[in-house]
Structure 1
Amino acid sequence: MLSLFDNGAPAPCPAPFNLAAYVLAEAETVPDRNALQIVRPTGAERWSYGKLAAAVRGTGTGLLALGLSPGDRVLLRLGNTVEFPILFLGAIAAGLVPVPTSSQLTAPEVAKIVAEIGPKLIAAGAGIALPDSPPCPVLDEAALAALRDNAPCDWQMGDPERLAYIIYTSGTSGNSRAVMHAHRAIWARRMMWDGWYGMTGADRILHAGAFNWTYTLGTGLMDPWTLGATALIPGAGVTPAQLPLLLKRFDATIFAAAPGVYRQMLREHPKLDLPKLRHGLSAGEKLPDTVRHAWQQATGTEVHEALGMSECSTFLSAAPGHPAPPGASGYPQQGRRIAVLGPDSAPVEIGTPGTLAVSDRDPGLFLGYLGAEDETRARFRGEWFVTGDTVSMAEDYAVTYLGRDDDMMNAGGYRVSPIEVETVVNRLDGVHESAAVEVTVKADATVIACFYTGEALDPAALSTHVAENLARYKQPRIFVHRDSLPKGANGKLLRRALRQDYEAQNDPA
């Protein structure tokens, strides 16, 4: 039996189609229902479906009135505020292409993105880094909020295959890649409703992430709105220790977060009284079994994990009606075509480790990397998009994650290329060579460590240098000076050897 899952293609995306119109369709039938509550211990800011749709469509009109045309790109440099999803959907409603980015990026990182995408407008929150000389108008949050008062724009309908938005992910070349997604990407997320969420329009889902994280945007906002559910998002400044209070006070029925948030909550609250909560959702990185078990003990509910990536969102998951067996992450969602490939690009036998791959027929698969056609083609083997994750598939199709088959790192749910980190460190005077590696520092906790040769430098100087050039989640937390770095016969850095050596000398148990 081969490691291949295929139970038929999903229903095709309707045409003509607009992602934002699809997400906010419930505003026509339940305009007074709560779509969004921004929750804090002191209370909540509420947005009805009618108010939200009016803000989105008014923003669309305002953007067009500024002289933008369908297809133009809008760069989002916004913090954890409601302006983020309103602008994202408002741009798409009007046929524009939003490009959300992490607020943690530095000015040099943003300048590189600006040069690549050529935005016609930048929306910027206070204190968030921008290029020194923006090549287009910059709209602050006050001006952005004023756009909501415009008359509603018409939905820009069209081919579901056309470009809807661009998000950034680290590439194996060391450069962050612009991932282009079609309008149909939101249609593909229907496979998550039963395959992961177990969510209906009656649910109240609290997502612990900030507005400007794509995990929050999809799982915490757009999917609940598509179903007519209520999205609960913690306001800026809410800490993980305060989340149990918000879960209980605002009657959350589903909780979504990255594993690190679960870990921090449990550290403060080993026992939680959440009578309305049915289950939790986890994505962004592998959920440690110890955290899963501790959550079960604390709440009496399960956490259902999902695997995915920026190029295809989540496509493997456990669900309330189909929990994962011990050690496994979950199952291919109904409607997906998934394989575990060997070196010959053919599916391996069941139980044999291989590379996880997604069929090019998947409606959630990206259109390609902007300006990187060769790298796009390199990610495919025939029909298969190769994820770079090493997994094994059981006879019942349960998939167990075994690790990366390259050296990509994971920092708080973000994939980080070691080459990107090393390029920055190597620019510092006195550094000859460096290697960035994800290391375990204690049970269930990893950080980025940087090993380097050359002069033994002051760790503070190293930290200052990377802070000026890399987003916080990309910055190494540990710097280790070495006389030399291990390499293979072909001269390639052996990052795995560095990790194993470090962990052997610094027992994380």
Structure 2
Amino acid sequence: MSDTRHPPARFNAARYCIGENARLRPEKTALILVGDGTEARLTFGEVDRAVRSIAAGLLRLGLRPGDRVMIRMGNDADYALLHFGAMAAGLISLPSSPQLTEGEAAFLMENSGTAAVALAGGCAVDPGALGGRIVLDGAAIAALKAGEPLADYADTAADDPAMLIYTSGTTSRPKGVLHGHRATYGRRPMLDHWIGITEQDVMLHAGTMNWTYTLGVGLSDPWAVGATAVLYNGSRDPGVWPRLIGRYGATIFAAVPTLYRQILKYGDLPSHDLRSLRHGCTAGEPLSVELLDAWTAATGKPLYEALGMSEISTYISSGPTIPVRPGSPGQPQPGRRVAILPVEGPPEPLPAGESGLLAVHRSEPALMLGYWNRPEEEAEVLRGEWFVGGDLARFDADGYLWFEGRNNDLMKAMGYRVSPNEVEVVLGAHPSVAEVGVAELPVRADVSVICGFVVLQAGATPDAEALLTWCAERLAAYKRPREIRFLDALPRTANGKVQRKRLAEAV
């Protein structure tokens, strides 16, 4: 499945994930959705029928190819069916989080020009923001599923828009990332080289339906190979994940690093049967060497990391074909065109060992079509034939990537540019440290110092001097933090990423 050539000119992402499975294995379980004492199962034949019925119903309501369908629902199977149903009809799916406020949801509807809103699961919407939009409540969604299905999936072009993802901004309004149907095909290198998934696998994903990590790794990727997906929508308890692995014979588990840490702390791993599990996958935030070592020691199972972004999903990883190198997220997946470009100057790839901006070639089929109605921001991320997302990194002589933070996160100390990532790796290796973020801390109107913002391990005693000494033994003088601040938790985005710019505010 590692072929990264472009898909056929006529290509529909929903047909790719569902239609072929319905033809080849209609009775096989496609999805198991587990709740508190509940379980729902759908076969590929049932998913195919529901998706084509939803697609036909949406078109009967007057929607036309290219219209946006916003999904504002709880974490249930209908979320996924509507997502794929919209794409099956040639419409654009707009997944959104049920945690959005009414104002945030109103902005997405207005900015995207949403034509229809699927509204269920207790998610509120400001009635004044609905305008003339079609509203699909629970009863309407049930009627769509019960209706006559489309005879076939929409005959879309690979470059036709399929999904609009709004990124979680920290200082401004979210921006829409528009993906074509080809983006689902462009995920193929992940299947062999990060996830390592085949038709025989059972994928357990710890995310919720609204998250593109879940819609991709939790559903699209297993369905692309005919595997079974298991998702959970019950009460949040770190101990539930090892129980689910044992109960359903999950062979692959996917989550963010923070959840792996919680499972190690609260999941009582020795009391669960993890023999079916082949490996874990993780993305969304850096995987520390300490956590990697702790997980493999406790389970005996590999943990494979990936680096990606909303604009292209994951493209750097370790995995079954790429050995883990602790501290690095891995190598470019075979078939990807990835380079390090100078921060300034012509976009000519740099040699191994030199730091610069991580870039992906614009020919990559997984790359976004563009930002929704923001051409000026598209211009900022395109340099010649390369897409540049703002990550600073370098490749070593063996082709492993070493992530050095965001370009605008770089700190200035003693005339040197210092990557917060480098300092975080050192501080995070201290046995008393559970989590860490590093940023500049203003100490006077014109003076800032490097500061480590630390969440301690349970039972550890705050000792700033010990941490400063630890860093002094492992970092050059200009890279060392001058201050340590202790926090109960690090400020994070909705997707779990540390917000370095807010660290000083959290003290």
- From 12, 15, 24, the counterpart of 1:21: 15
2:6 maps to 1:12: yes
- Work out whether residues 41 and 242 of structure 1, in 8 Å CA contact, stay in contact via their aligned partners in 2: no
CA distance in 1, matches of 2:444, 2:164: 37
Deviates more, 1:231-240 or 1:205-214: 231-240
Deviations along 1:139-189, one digit per CA (max 9) or x if unpaired, are 112321321111221311122111111001145872311000011001101
CA distance in 2, matches of 1:132, 1:43: 33
Distance 1:141 1:131, change over 3 A: same
Cα drift, residue 42 of structure 1: 3.5
Paired position in structure 1 for 2:135: 138
Matched residue of 2:245: which SS? helix
CA distance in 2, matches of 1:387, 1:379: 6
- Work out whether residues 171 and 177 of structure 1, in 8 Å CA contact, stay in contact via their aligned partners in 2: yes
2:102 maps to 1:122: no
Paired position in structure 1 for 2:282: 282
Deviations along 1:419-458, one digit per CA (max 9) or x if unpaired, are xxxxxxxxxxxxxxxxxxxx9997343589999xxxxxxx
2:486 maps to 1:506: yes
- Work out whether residues 6 and 186 of structure 2, in 8 Å CA contact, stay in contact via their aligned partners in 1: no
- Aligned pairs, number: 436
CA distance in 2, matches of 1:140, 1:15: 35
CA distance in 2, matches of 1:373, 1:63: 30
Q: 5+ unaligned residues in a row in structure 1: which ranges?
A: 1-7, 409-438, 452-481, 489-493
2:176 maps to 1:178: yes
CA distance in 2, matches of 1:175, 1:502: 34
Paired position in structure 2 for 1:66: 61
CA distance in 1, matches of 2:328, 2:440: 31
Distance 1:175 1:152, change over 3 A: same
2:393 maps to 1:398: no
- Work out whether residues 222 and 229 of structure 2, in 8 Å CA contact, stay in contact via their aligned partners in 1: yes
Matched residue of 1:174: which SS? coil
- Work out whether residues 270 and 298 of structure 1, in 8 Å CA contact, stay in contact via their aligned partners in 2: no
Paired position in structure 2 for 1:86: 81
Q: Which amino acid aligns with 1:347?
A: P
Paired position in structure 1 for 2:250: 252
- From 52, 69, 92, the counterpart of 2:47: 52
Matched residue of 1:392: which SS? strand
Paired position in structure 2 for 1:338: 338
CA distance in 1, matches of 2:327, 2:439: 27
Matched residue of 2:175: which SS? strand
- Work out whether residues 439 and 452 of structure 2, in 8 Å CA contact, stay in contact via their aligned partners in 1: no
Distance 1:171 1:506, change over 3 A: closer
- Work out whether residues 111 and 130 of structure 1, in 8 Å CA contact, stay in contact via their aligned partners in 2: yes
Cα drift, residue 194 of structure 1: 1.0
Cα drift, residue 109 of structure 1: 1.3
- Work out whether residues 34 and 40 of structure 2, in 8 Å CA contact, stay in contact via their aligned partners in 1: yes
Please provide the CA RMSD for this pair.
Answer: 2.8
Distance 1:498 1:485, change over 3 A: farther
- Work out whether residues 280 and 303 of structure 1, in 8 Å CA contact, stay in contact via their aligned partners in 2: yes
2:91 maps to 1:96: yes
Matched residue of 1:240: which SS? coil
Q: Which amino acid aligns with 1:213?
A: W
Deviations along 1:241-289, one digit per CA (max 9) or x if unpaired, are 2111111011000000011110111111364440010000001111111
Paired position in structure 2 for 1:434: none
Give the share of equivalent positions with the same residue, in percent. Answer: 41
Q: 5+ unaligned residues in a row in structure 2: which ranges?
A: 411-426, 454-479, 490-507
TM-score by length of 2: 0.80
TM-score by length of 1: 0.80
CA distance in 1, matches of 2:281, 2:191: 12
- Work out whether residues 40 and 246 of structure 1, in 8 Å CA contact, stay in contact via their aligned partners in 2: no
- Work out whether residues 438 and 452 of structure 2, in 8 Å CA contact, stay in contact via their aligned partners in 1: no
CA distance in 2, matches of 1:331, 1:449: 27
- Work out whether residues 164 and 176 of structure 2, in 8 Å CA contact, stay in contact via their aligned partners in 1: yes
Paired position in structure 2 for 1:33: 28
- Work out whether residues 31 and 50 of structure 1, in 8 Å CA contact, stay in contact via their aligned partners in 2: yes
Distance 1:355 1:508, change over 3 A: farther
CA distance in 1, matches of 2:319, 2:258: 20
- Work out whether residues 279 and 303 of structure 1, in 8 Å CA contact, stay in contact via their aligned partners in 2: yes
CA distance in 2, matches of 1:59, 1:336: 35
Deviates more, 1:177-186 or 1:315-324: 315-324
Paired position in structure 2 for 1:303: 303
- From 231, 234, 238, the counterpart of 1:233: 231
CA distance in 1, matches of 2:265, 2:380: 43
CA distance in 1, matches of 2:439, 2:38: 40
2:155 maps to 1:161: no
The list of structure 1 runs, each at least 4 consecutive aligned residues, that deviate by more than 3 angstroms after superposition, is: 40-43, 170-173, 269-273, 439-442, 446-451, 484-488, 494-503
